Chains A and B, each alone.
Chain A
Amino acid sequence: MSTSLRQCERIARDEGLAAGLAMAIAGAEVATTAPGRWAAVPAESVRAGAEVRHDSLAAREGVTFLACQGRPPAAPASLAEIGRLLAAVRLGLVRRLLDHAVEHLSERVAGDEPLIRKQLITGTVADTMAEVELLREQAHAPHDPAALSDLHLRLDELGWQVLTLFGAAGYLADHPARALHVSFLVANTWIDREGVPE
């Protein structure tokens, strides 16, 4: 698999979750590679007649869940690679939504100033980017299952941190921040964290 982490992050940032996911799993035989009974895939990649599970939020992101064998006898190396590429996709989404949040917070005023100037908000923006820089390096690390699991748990937390910047608006099903909710679900189908200590 020659797709680079950088490409995955870039396409997710520019085009969103489904495009990033398509790149992360390109070339993989999904049904025999995915670690669970269902695997997130771009909806447009699903062949007619294939068994899928529909999720209303994921569908709006162009993502659906394909039935898989689950528990391949030996996790292929390509699964670990997908895990790393998916981490890059999630980093790209964090950047995409952070850009959006900063724009939103620059327009929204509390008291006499835009929210983006409030120190607690500035702190969250800074913490988010510091974590992005750190996790990007972690995604380059060797294919250790525990490290990969930890990486995605941190991405769960990071996605949540960005979601808080939108307030209640980020909880609307038709808000762009929906991608962060769905990316949590997507990662849940591709990352095998069972048995990895907390």
Chain B
Amino acid sequence: MIEFDDRLRAIRDRHREAAEDLRSRALAIDADPEAMEPHLDSPAYLMIRESSMPAAHRTSATAAASPDRGSCLENIVGLVELFRGDVGALLACPSPALAGVFVELLGDAAQKERFYRRISDGRTWSFFAMTEAGRGNDATAMETRLERDGSGGWLLHGAKRYIGHGARGGVGVVFGRTGRSALSIRAALVELPVPGWHAERLDMVGLRGAFLSELRFDGLPVAGDMLLGEHLPVTRRGIWGALTTFNNMRMQIAAAAVGTALAMAEYVAEHRKGAPGAEPVAARAEAARHLVYEAAARLDRSPERGYLSSAAKLGATRMAVETAHWAAAALGPAGLLEHPLLEKWTRDVRAFEFMDGTGNIQRLHVARGYRSGDADA
């Protein structure tokens, strides 16, 4: 079990305060994810914006209790608290998000500057466009392609699906392949508006704040200096960065599952005192929280070993769905209609299964990690 020092406690407590603000916005964002203006300068969003930007792009001195952007554990400790506020409201916040993690890894100085300058206004969403319809997270089967334009640049053709904030993004990362091998998968920094870009929001069952979208590229021009990783060795340019980013992303989804489960358990305890099963449900959510912390700490030590992060994502997602089923029953007949926040969470938790690798993909990772000795590392 991870022992909290003063710094981790301070991070947790600061994020806990912001969680209340997020929760107060949860139902409005779920009902109309396009109406974001009332939320963009909220205390929680300001805090998230400040702590997710590099120092040069912050608008005020960051409080000491902001997570170190390089520490997975510190970020996850903060995120669990924010997700406990509301996962949809948090994901609706304009921030560097996954694209930021990737640009940090693979971007050169000019690309980072361009990316962060664009999103520093707190009103610009970023996107990370990898997934394609029918391909899930199998990046190596990607069909979107980058074709040379004959004058040093590229033209992007293809389509992406389930891309967060795709239809309202301002800048982000789009993956495509320049050839047939896995090493030919590259990522381009794309800033809007740009010709050849077509985007539409998808109507989803839940997690509507994430604004999952469908994208299509029809000869979208990409300048030669907008391919990420050009300054790195060939093996580190594309898919390596994506896989490293996915290890990070997986922890965030696990944290979302834990945070939402904790929220549901607490909600039922508050509204239906003495509900049967409340104690074991809360204990399971707490156990998942500690597992997620442990996996984050292990990822900080060995960023490329994903065994425990896969186990945490698999276990936390399943636990969160079971908690949702229990909570719905515990509030009594028609409880979901009388408690719309809980009803929303029961929809939201079902998104975690397919985000950053389905349960079956995680099962394969866990089994592979176990066979290679990672369970005892």
Contacts and interface: CB of A to CB of B under 8 A. Distances in A.
A36 B321 contact: no
Contact of B325 (A65, A157, A174, A194): A157
A189 B333 contact: yes
B277 A197 contact: yes
Interface string B332-354: 11111110000100110011011
Contacts of A138: none
Nearest to A177: B205
B321 A160 contact: yes
Interface string B132-149: 001010100100000000
Contacts of A191: 329, 333
A181 B205 contact: yes
A9 B136 CA distance: 32
A172 B205 contact: yes
B360 interface: yes
A141 B110 CA distance: 69
B276 A197 contact: yes
A156 B336 contact: no
B140 to A, nearest CB: 10
A40 B347 CA distance: 18
Interface in A104-157: 108, 110, 118, 120-121, 149, 152-153, 156-157
Nearest to B280: A198
Cβ-closest 10 pairs across A and B: A36-B334, A36-B333, A198-B277, A35-B333, A193-B329, A173-B203, A194-B332, A168-B354, A38-B334, A156-B325
Given A160-B350, A198-B280, A167 B358 contact: yes
A80 interface: no
A37 B334 contact: yes
A195 B330 CA distance: 8
A156 to B, nearest CB: 4
A164 interface: yes
B365 to A, nearest CB: 12
B41 to A, nearest CB: 29
A110 B141 contact: yes
A184 B138 contact: no
Contacts of A81: none
B205 A173 contact: yes
B363 interface: yes
Contacts of B363: 120
Contacts of A91: none
Interface string B198-227: 000011111100001000000000000000
A196 interface: yes
Contacts of A198: 276-277, 280, 326
B325 A167 contact: no
Contact of B336 (A174, A188, A194, A197): A188
A121 B334 contact: no
B46 to A, nearest CB: 31
A192 B333 CA distance: 5
Contact of A171 (B131, B204, B280, B364): B204
A57 B208 CA distance: 13
Contacts of B203: 172-174
Nearest to A79: B333
A189 B347 contact: no
B334 A57 contact: no
Contacts of A178: 205
Nearest to B349: A160
B173 interface: no
Contacts of A35: 332-334
A185 B206 CA distance: 14
A57 B359 CA distance: 25
Contacts of A86: none
B334 A39 contact: yes
A37 B350 contact: no
A185 B137 CA distance: 30
A189 B337 contact: yes
Given A164-B354, A168-B212, A188-B336, 8 more contacts: A65-B334, A120-B363, A153-B326, A160-B325, A173-B204, A184-B346, A188-B333, A192-B332
Interface in B298-324: 321-322
Interface string B141-169: 10000000000000000000110000000
A194 B330 contact: yes
A194 B138 CA distance: 43
B251 interface: no
9 contacts: A36-B335, A38-B334, A120-B363, A168-B212, A181-B205, A185-B337, A188-B328, A193-B329, A194-B332
Nearest to B325: A156
Contacts of B333: 34-36, 70, 188-194
A171 B354 CA distance: 9
B337 A171 contact: no
B343 A185 contact: yes
Given A156-B325, A181-B350, A189 B334 contact: yes
B343 A172 contact: no
B338 A195 contact: no
A163 interface: yes
A53 interface: yes
Interface in B111-139: 131, 134, 136, 138
